[in-house]
Structure 1
Amino acid sequence: MNTSSTTMKERQFKARRRVSSLMALGMIAAFSPAFAQSPSHDAGVAAPNAAVVTLPQDQWRAAGITLAPVTRAPFENTLRLTGKISLNEDRVAHIYSLVEGTVSDVPVTLGQRVQTDDLLAVIHSREVGEAKLQLYQDRLQVELANIQHQMQTKVAGNASELLDALRNNTGIDEIERQFRDRPMGDFRERVVAAYAAYLKSAADVVRLEGISETGAVSGKQLLTARANRNADQATFQSRIEQIQHELHTSTVMSSQAVKMAEAKALVSATSLRILNVPANEIDHIDPVNQGETISHYAIRAPFDGTILTKDVVLSEQVRPDVLLFSIADLSTVWVTANIYEEHLPLLDSFKNQTVKLRNDALPEQSFTAKVFYTGDVMDETTRTISLRAIADNSGHHLKPGMFINIELPTSQPTASVLIPSSAVQEHAGQTFVFVLNGTNDFHRRDVKLGLANESSVVVEQGLHDGESIVVQGGFILKSQLLADLMGEE
């Protein structure tokens, strides 16, 4: 046997033993400089023989070799952020009194859960008492104005019917019978007196005309009687027109009086509504029965929630600028997180996304939240953009101020070459995979990687669709490749 050939085989055997020992320890201490300097190749170009490992198929199972075709799929990843639980700012109320006064009752305590319209405090307010009394007086004026208007309307109706009867020359006796018990004020006396005078003058003319032919009366007397009749008729017609005008005017004035009284009462009621006095109290003001409680001003809960702050005690003087209570609806909370500048391309995809929430203090529970806002302004100090989501908190497990871990799913709109992370090998700063070429040959293929998640990585350059790559057992091939290279030294 040739001595040089024997020496080469011994060196290869020793190199393989060295690599096997290193594999048993789970690491490779050093690699051949020759392999590190091997050139990279584009996809589809076979590597030189130095980057090829031949392994018969009957040994694949023992070596743990698993193949998979190169495919394209949308890249999905989970972005993990640290966020904070905060109050739902749309469901927080800071409650002040709208009036000055003295606190006479505080039936709630700090931390108490209240329902909508639950009583929080009662304030004895002079302003409220005076406003209620004014409304009560205004309503009395409305009642009086309505009664006067009804009476005036009735009088006007009766008087109008009387005028119609007089225009039709109804007799005095018939008029007396029809309108005896019907009220019409002084209009009856004024118009009936004028009508009676006219009837008398007309009767005198008729009487004198009947005897004037006999010469019993002079023509001058007849002319005088006719003049008196015409004058009384004109007076009667004038009286009718005057009364009609007065009836119309008095009816309009009484109607306006009602409207003015109603407007004044409406203004008084509106003043109480502005002070947030409940409609039920406004509708049932009764100074006699209510007594001094008519000045009580109730402060009530605007919605279901929990009392977070309480800064009021009995007999305390309060003003509109003093905060009394803070109430928050904790059935929902906001989740706030900061999105870093590197994730800005994904910002639009976060909108309306459902995210998972976890907290180390509650390891067995998970929560979800829906993103409703991705900020439009970047914080100049932290170079981040605020993200907010709303989470159901019906169990009240999420406490405002609590830190939370957020899992935010992300995806790319286009499909990419996606391979398992286990298929990627690395040496001397270069990443590569093993591509099956033929039946038993595994070629090293340098690749350029992109985004990665827990199990997969995007290959930007180096692989084509349909190629078979080693997804499990690649470390064995890599070790064999390194052993061969080291044996050639």
Structure 2
Amino acid sequence: MNHAIGSSRKTAFGVRGKFLVPVVLLVIAAISGLAYQFSNHSPERPSTASTSPPIRQAVSVTPASTAIGSATVIELPKSQWEVSGLAFEPVSMAPFVQTIRLTGKVSLNEDRIAHIYPMVDGEVESVQVGLGQAVHADDPLVIVHSREIGRAKLELYQARLQHEMALAKDKIQRGTAENARELLASLREGLSITDIEKKFRHRGMGDYRERLLLSYSSYLKSAADVARLEGLAESGAVSGKQFLAANSNMNADQATFQARIEQVDYELQMSLLQSSQAVREAATRVAVATSNLQILGCRDEEIASIDPKSEGESISHYWIRAPFDGTVISKDVSLKEQVHTDTQILRIADLSTVWISADIYEENVPILKTLAGKAVRVRNQAWPDREFEAEVFFTGEIMDEATRTISMRAVANNEDRLLKPGMFVTIELDEQAQQQSLAVPLSAVQEHAGQQFVYLHLGEGKFERRDVVLGKRNKQAVEVLDGLTEGDEVVVSGGFVLKSKMLEDLMGEE
């Protein structure tokens, strides 16, 4: 009995259930339709829409904006602006600076590379540096045992000795000439032999003294004979013939004495000239030998201290030194190796600066004329948080026919050695457009469901989403091709708060 009743109830419920499900679905659909009509005819909706028609006309409706629906206009009280970090500014027309990115490469600064060759042939006596070692200017790198250097140093040493000898001879000759000229002056004055002997007794003058005094003595004797015979001839004590002979002898001795004076004076001039010439020739030999060692790379202090007695075999040592501060980047020399003037033994590079090279594509050639002397930005994946600067110093004039590019070179400071030659880098160039365009800061652009948009300030705490079409961009801003007009006030910071509120409203509707 009970079983029968249960069965009948189940059967009846099942029948009634089949009829109730469609009825419930119809009721739900009717309620949804009334809610939709009510929301579209709400008295508050026209007031919101009435403030936005001029702006909405510029918006191109897309599926994304349709999906937003009533969340297009968002209200945010002014009291919350400061907390939300909300800021907006008007959009204006201006030349847009586009950032062009190129792939470049780090290379050695070719103006600061030294290829080290020995100036002489010889055998390596010592190697002072290793590969990768930092060196300073004038640091010793390699010592070479060179016969050429040894001979050059010995020649200089001998030339110096000869110069010293020439100077000593010149000094003696000048002293002799000075004494002899004073003797000539005294003889011309007619001083007596006794006075001359007393005056010049201890003053050296070589054989000039003897030659001058002999002729002078002969002249004085002849003059005395003439004076003695002159009185006797007048008295008739001696014949006139004897007097004439004595007078003739005096004239001859006087002529001989005068000639001797002139001869000695000429010889003094010539001796001084020859002495001076010998000093100059010796000094020239010293200068030539010194210059020869300087050309070979010997330092001044090394040249000045040449002494075969104290140096011995080391006098043939030739020091190869660093030309500037740098790093040894290649080493092709070892101990006791024979090296020659055409053999590169070391290569040193100054890594405090490096070159950044890049190829400018044909479409970007117009910017080349603005790059000379300007700075470009350089980035590398190894240092993602670092930005380097390089100054452009070369822009080529010839295009590579194969790659359709023109070379560009820039020099970058590398004091911290972060940029390694061989690295690939990204180079950023700024190109300013010739025509005016609208642009907004990157912080103003929001994105949802694949659509990019900005928020416009409508006034009265109301903000509207405005879909935009974007163009070129740089580090700070992006060009707006469609969706905005000049003077529109765009939210440049705090837009995330508006977007969150928009999404919150959207989820509430769903």
Pairwise CA distance, 1:252:
0.1
Q: May I ask how many residue pairs the two structures share in their alignment?
A: 438
Residue 369, structure 1, aligned to residue 389, structure 2:
yes
- The answer as to whether partners of 1:370 and 1:391 remain within 8 angstroms in 2 is yes
C-alpha distance in structure 1 between counterparts of 2:293 and 2:71, whole Å: 95
Q: Which residue is equivalent to 1:395?
A: 416
Which of structures 1 and 2 has the bigger CA Rg? 2
Correspondent of 1:266 among 287, 293, 301 = 287
Residue identity in the other structure for 1:76: V
Residue 252, structure 1, aligned to residue 273, structure 2:
yes
Pairwise CA distance, 1:354:
3.0
Correspondent of 1:207 among 219, 228, 232 = 228
C-alpha distance in structure 2 between counterparts of 1:130 and 1:123, whole Å: 14
Structure 1 residues 127-175: Cα deviation after superposition (integer angstroms, max 9, x where no partner): 1101111111111111111111111111111100000000000110010
Query: TM-score w.r.t. structure 1 length?
Result: 0.76
Correspondent of 1:236 among 245, 248, 257 = 257
Residue identity in the other structure for 2:428: E
Q: Which residue is equivalent to 2:318?
A: 297
Pairwise CA distance, 1:316:
0.8
Q: Which residue is equivalent to 1:77?
A: 98
Correspondent of 2:163 among 122, 125, 142 = 142
Correspondent of 2:111 among 85, 90, 96 = 90
- The answer as to whether partners of 1:335 and 1:369 remain within 8 angstroms in 2 is no
C-alpha distance in structure 2 between counterparts of 1:139 and 1:125, whole Å: 21
- The answer as to whether partners of 1:369 and 1:389 remain within 8 angstroms in 2 is no
Pairwise CA distance, 1:214:
1.5
Pairwise CA distance, 1:449:
8.6
Residue 102, structure 1, aligned to residue 123, structure 2:
yes
- The answer as to whether partners of 1:354 and 1:368 remain within 8 angstroms in 2 is no
Residue identity in the other structure for 2:374: Q
C-alpha distance in structure 1 between counterparts of 2:88 and 2:154, whole Å: 91
Q: Which residue is equivalent to 1:333?
A: 354
Change in 2 beyond 3 A, CA 1:224/1:347? same
Pairwise CA distance, 1:91:
1.5
Residue 130, structure 1, aligned to residue 154, structure 2:
no
C-alpha distance in structure 2 between counterparts of 1:470 and 1:250, whole Å: 102
C-alpha distance in structure 1 between counterparts of 2:73 and 2:330, whole Å: 76
- The answer as to whether partners of 2:126 and 2:335 remain within 8 angstroms in 1 is yes
C-alpha distance in structure 1 between counterparts of 2:314 and 2:441, whole Å: 78
**Secondary structure of the structure 2 residue equivalent to 1:323:** coil
- The answer as to whether partners of 2:103 and 2:424 remain within 8 angstroms in 1 is yes
Pairwise CA distance, 1:304:
1.6
Identity of aligned residues (%): 50
Correspondent of 1:283 among 304, 328, 332 = 304
465-474 vs 322-331, greater mean Cα deviation: 465-474
- The answer as to whether partners of 2:134 and 2:326 remain within 8 angstroms in 1 is yes
- The answer as to whether partners of 1:74 and 1:412 remain within 8 angstroms in 2 is yes
Structure (1 or 2) with the greater helix fraction: 2
- The answer as to whether partners of 1:80 and 1:408 remain within 8 angstroms in 2 is yes
113-122 vs 165-174, greater mean Cα deviation: 113-122
C-alpha distance in structure 1 between counterparts of 2:131 and 2:59, whole Å: 80
Q: Which residue is equivalent to 2:432?
A: 411
C-alpha distance in structure 2 between counterparts of 1:283 and 1:56, whole Å: 92
C-alpha distance in structure 1 between counterparts of 2:170 and 2:425, whole Å: 71
Q: Which residue is equivalent to 1:185?
A: 206
- The answer as to whether partners of 1:84 and 1:336 remain within 8 angstroms in 2 is yes
C-alpha distance in structure 2 between counterparts of 1:461 and 1:292, whole Å: 86
Pairwise CA distance, 1:271:
0.9
Pairwise CA distance, 1:435:
11
C-alpha distance in structure 2 between counterparts of 1:56 and 1:405, whole Å: 41
**Secondary structure of the structure 2 residue equivalent to 1:330:** coil
305-314 vs 406-415, greater mean Cα deviation: 406-415
Pairwise CA distance, 1:355:
3.1
Structure 2: 5+ residue runs without aligned partners? 1-32, 41-53, 78-86, 447-451, 461-465, 500-510
**Secondary structure of the structure 2 residue equivalent to 1:135:** helix
406-415 vs 160-169, greater mean Cα deviation: 406-415
Q: Which residue is equivalent to 1:154?
A: 175
Q: Which residue is equivalent to 1:32?
A: none
C-alpha distance in structure 1 between counterparts of 2:131 and 2:237, whole Å: 112
C-alpha distance in structure 1 between counterparts of 2:389 and 2:491, whole Å: 40
Q: Which residue is equivalent to 1:41?
A: none
Residue identity in the other structure for 2:121: E
Pairwise CA distance, 1:314:
1.1
Residue identity in the other structure for 2:180: A
**Secondary structure of the structure 2 residue equivalent to 1:285:** coil
C-alpha distance in structure 2 between counterparts of 1:322 and 1:197, whole Å: 78
Pairwise CA distance, 1:277:
1.1
Residue identity in the other structure for 1:370: A
C-alpha distance in structure 1 between counterparts of 2:236 and 2:286, whole Å: 75
